[in-house]
Amino acid sequence: MQKKLDLSTNVQFLHGVGPVRARSLSRLGINCVDDLLMHFPRTWLDRSSATPISELVVDSNATVCGEVLTSGGRSGRGRKSIQSVTIGDRGGVLTCTWFGQPYITKQLQTGMKILVSGKVQLHNSRPQFVHPDFEVLTSESTKLHSGRLVPVYPLTSGIGQHWLRGLTYRTLEQFSNEITEFLPGSLLRKHKLQNRRAALQNMHFPEDEASRTEAQKRFIYEEIAMIQALMGLRKSGHTTNSGIKLHKPGDLTTRLVNGLPFQLTSAQRKVLGDILRDMRTGLPMHRLLQGDVGSGKTLVALLAALFVIEQGWQATIMAPTEVLARQHGESILKLIEPLGISMEVLTGSTPSAQRRKITASAGNGEIDLLVGTHALLGDDVCLPNLGLAVVDEQHRFGVIQRGNASKVESSTPHVLVMSATPIPRSLSLTLYGDLDLSLIDELPPGRKPVQTDLIQPAQLDSMHGLVCNRVKNGQQAYVIYPVIEETEGQDIKSATEEFEKLSQGVFSDFNVALLHGRIKGSDKAEIMSRFAAGEIDILIATTVIEVGVDVANSTTMVIHHPERFGLAQLHQLRGRVGRGELQSWCHLVLDKWVAPESFERIRFFASTNDGFKLAEEDLRRRGPGDIMGVRQHGLPTFSVANPIRDAELVKLCSQDIKELLDADPRLSSEYNRAFKNRIESSFKQLFIHSAG
């Protein structure tokens, strides 16, 4: 007898899949049957209503049904080939154009009946689609899905649209009885949500527009509900472990604050208050500290660390890059030298003999503060008395070990995560509302906002003139390129080539250095410290300097090919200047031709220095899939919901989940158990993280 298949069955065992296709599917995140059913269409073609070519309206989206008249390719400018297919119906002719996709002309042959959807453009006074979605009409496809909305899925190589659609169709039928509901019935009734089985059916093969919209609503709600419940469970999970209970701030913290050449800003003081309060509750702190670039987060971290150290515990500060770890090490050393605290820096390029020495004394509890990179997560690193782990600009979670010698086996160290990449407010408030979050919403006094401008190719010389003048006056500059070396056939300037040109050309009077990711760690550190000491005037670099580098004397940031960077990255780069009392500039050097969408993004970036505004805009532009900052914070992300578009539903849902958790904090009742199980299996990794 055949083994019964269920939703957790590997797709490889589905009829017509097999190991090779299964491997391709896994690139789409599809491993089991459930994944396949949750692989939603990116759009639907409305087969029931094709527009006659003669009635197409420029700039609107339309679907056309016609016959392939001609199909051919030619080589275009640069290295890309151009594929051109003309399609005719009774009243007109439409051109469809693709770039660099030679297989299209093999697929679309004269005489075929096809359906194409795209945005109508005008080219040589004829309607044109560029990179349209298309569907060849065969008798089977017409039979299988005619007269309805047809799903169009995200694909990968080896997986065809038609094949995937057929597979999904059959799988839905075959597993229909296995699809069970997990959202609590009360919530479904309250919002009149479709049940899971119907919603899946309507998501893939909707009867009509209305049922598709309802199905989408259900999955949006489901997604938000799961994330809200996850955050709620995590939070109550925290309250079950004990943390390290600390007392009032002591002598060290006070002495450091008194010895500073400046006063803490009120935002820094407020945030520090949050942190110290957390650590005195006896529960483990897990706080996210957001503060724009230059707002002084490092000092807050150091004060928090001292607070822990002065009560006999150890602390770590982990930075994402070598450059940054060393920089933290140096600036912290200056501050704590008079306090008699032992600190070491540990990175990937620490020589092994020294590493052994450091790990040994850390293991004995002799080191109070250990600063470093991910090297801190190594198996040989043990901090028996770890009381606080600070993670600066974190990009992934990890577990810092306490080892067996820990005097506090049962308690969890406090964790402080810092980031200059804000989670958009609309997200953090409504979605992650329960996250402990502190905000440094004020820059140290005397800072002047960075002036940002767009430099057209013709203005490059005069911009260089300005930069040279500033450098002659003793200021420093960064010049950033998106790549280390040039790639043949691509028109992108690179740090290495431009370094050669600039250091022998316009910048020949100055000390110019090159910094990028392929330079050895210790050399990188040396270049950075010479730059910090003012021995280097101009640093030509890639984004290795993106995060956290702090040299107050550098007042100019030149960014080449800004279109190649996301808003978050641009913001980080610009944050490297404007860190002192001098006026600073950020020059965005434009190419001759920049795509309109990129141009708009760059212009928007130039119009504001506000990290939160940029984050909101990023969210609006890129949608929910890859929200700026969210991944970095290790928070779950969205695939169907769009927190801005769905703000109303988010609000309702968070209220629902709050009530649900108030009544049943562990979701352990009979009614909620299926929901809880689903959350745990969907966010396995996150559960492991929070346990660590």
* Burial class for 79, CB neighbours closer than 10 Å (0-12, 13-18, 19+): exposed
What minimum distance in Å lies between the beta carbon of 588 and ligand ADP? 21
What minimum distance in Å lies between the beta carbon of 319 and ligand ADP? 10
Task: Report the residue number, 447 or 689, with the smaller CB distance to ligand ADP.
Answer: 447
What minimum distance in Å lies between the beta carbon of 573 and ligand ADP? 13
- Separation in Å, CA 476 to CA 202, 438, 465, 585, 664: 60, 33, 14, 11, 59
Task: Report the residue number, 589 or 628, with the smaller CB distance to ligand ADP.
Answer: 628
Q: Which residues, other chains included, contact 15 with Cβ-Cβ below 8 Å and sequence gap of 6+?
A: 170
Q: Return d(Cα 39, Cα 14) in angstroms, integer.
A: 16
Q: Return d(Cα 20, Cα 18) in angstroms, integer.
A: 6
Task: Report the residue number, 323 or 471, with the smaller CB distance to Mg ion.
Answer: 323
What minimum distance in Å lies between the beta carbon of 550 and ligand ADP? 4
Residue 380 contact partner, candidates Mg ion, ligand ADP, none, CB within 5 to 8 A by sort of partner: none
Task: Report the residue number, 413 or 444, with the smaller CB distance to ligand ADP.
Answer: 444
What minimum distance in Å lies between the beta carbon of 500 and Mg ion? 32
Task: Report the residue number, 265 or 385, with the smaller CB distance to ligand ADP.
Answer: 265
Count of C-beta atoms within a 10 Å radius of residue 333: 14
Residue 394 contact partner, candidates Mg ion, ligand ADP, none, CB within 5 to 8 A by sort of partner: none
Q: Tell me, by CB under 5 A, how many residues bind Mg ion.
A: 1
What minimum distance in Å lies between the beta carbon of 556 and Mg ion? 20
Task: Report the residue number, 36 or 325, with the smaller CB distance to Mg ion.
Answer: 325
Residue 265 contact partner, candidates Mg ion, ligand ADP, none, CB within 5 to 8 A by sort of partner: ligand ADP
What minimum distance in Å lies between the beta carbon of 522 and ligand ADP? 22
Distance of CA 25 to the CA centre of its chain: 23
Residue 291 contact partner, candidates ligand ADP, Mg ion, none, CB within 5 to 8 A by sort of partner: ligand ADP
Residue 316 · residue 308 · CB < 8 Å: no
DSSP 10-51: BGGGSTTTHHHHHHHHHHTT--BHHHHHT---SEEEETT-PP
What minimum distance in Å lies between the beta carbon of 394 and Mg ion? 12
Q: Which residues, other chains included, contact 31 with Cβ-Cβ below 8 Å and sequence gap of 6+?
A: 10, 11, 22, 25
Residue 685 contact partner, candidates ligand ADP, Mg ion, none, CB within 5 to 8 A by sort of partner: none
Residue nearest to ligand ADP according to CB distances in the complex:
296
Q: Return d(Cα 156, Cα 602) in angstroms, integer.
A: 30
Task: Report the residue number, 73 or 548, with the smaller CB distance to Mg ion.
Answer: 548
- Separation in Å, CA 334 to CA 236, 268, 302, 428: 40, 20, 12, 36
Residue 579 contact partner, candidates Mg ion, ligand ADP, none, CB within 5 to 8 A by sort of partner: ligand ADP
- Separation in Å, CA 41 to CA 151, 155, 203, 620, 667: 5, 10, 8, 21, 32
Task: Report the residue number, 83 or 609, with the smaller CB distance to ligand ADP.
Answer: 609
Beta pairing class for 113-119 and 133-136: antiparallel
Task: Report the residue number, 552 or 594, with the smaller CB distance to ligand ADP.
Answer: 552
Give strand ranges (E) for 564-684.
585-589
Considering Cα of 51, then 53, then 59, then 61, what sign does the dihedral take? positive
Count of C-beta atoms within a 10 Å radius of residue 325: 28
- Span near Mg ion by CB under 5 A; candidates 548-556, 561-569, 587-595, 636-644: 548-556
Residue 212 contact partner, candidates Mg ion, ligand ADP, none, CB within 5 to 8 A by sort of partner: none
What minimum distance in Å lies between the beta carbon of 174 and ligand ADP? 54
Task: Report the residue number, 284 or 548, with the smaller CB distance to Mg ion.
Answer: 548
Residue 85 · residue 70 · CB < 8 Å: yes
Q: Return d(Cα 103, Cα 134) in angstroms, integer.
A: 13
- Span near Mg ion by CB under 5 A; candidates 140-148, 189-197, 495-503, 542-550: 542-550
Residue 650 contact partner, candidates Mg ion, ligand ADP, none, CB within 5 to 8 A by sort of partner: none
Q: Which residues, other chains included, contact 105 with Cβ-Cβ below 8 Å and sequence gap of 6+?
A: 71, 72, 73, 83, 85
What minimum distance in Å lies between the beta carbon of 445 and ligand ADP? 7
The residue from 320, 444, 548, 629 that contacts Mg ion (CB under 5 A) is 548
Q: Return d(Cα 7, Cα 182) in angstroms, integer.
A: 14
What minimum distance in Å lies between the beta carbon of 548 and Mg ion? 4
Q: Return d(Cα 133, Cα 165) in angstroms, integer.
A: 14
What minimum distance in Å lies between the beta carbon of 300 and ligand ADP? 8
Residue 494 · residue 556 · CB < 8 Å: no
Applying CB under 6 A, the residues found at the interface with ligand ADP are 262-265, 268, 291, 293-299, 420, 444, 548, 550, 552, 579
What minimum distance in Å lies between the beta carbon of 617 and ligand ADP? 21
Task: Report the residue number, 328 or 355, with the smaller CB distance to Mg ion.
Answer: 328
What minimum distance in Å lies between the beta carbon of 379 and ligand ADP? 29
Tokens of 675: 């929901």
Q: Which residues, other chains included, contact 17 with Cβ-Cβ below 8 Å and sequence gap of 6+?
A: 11, 25, 167
Q: Is 284 in the site for Mg ion (CB under 5 A)?
A: no
- Span near Mg ion by CB under 5 A; candidates 70-78, 335-343, 526-534, 544-552: 544-552
Tokens 């013709």 belong to: 458
Task: Report the residue number, 324 or 640, with the smaller CB distance to ligand ADP.
Answer: 324
Residue 264 contact partner, candidates ligand ADP, Mg ion, none, CB within 5 to 8 A by sort of partner: ligand ADP
- Span near Mg ion by CB under 5 A; candidates 44-52, 444-452, 500-508, 547-555: 547-555
Query: Is residue 147 helix, strand or coil?
Result: coil
Tokens 């689609």 belong to: 129
Task: Report the residue number, 437 or 552, with the smaller CB distance to ligand ADP.
Answer: 552
Q: Phi and psi for 222 in degrees, rounded to 5? A: -55, -45
Residue 430 contact partner, candidates Mg ion, ligand ADP, none, CB within 5 to 8 A by sort of partner: none
Tokens 């420029």 belong to: 58
Task: Report the residue number, 268 or 690, with the smaller CB distance to ligand ADP.
Answer: 268
Q: Which residues bind Mg ion (CB under 5 A)?
A: 548
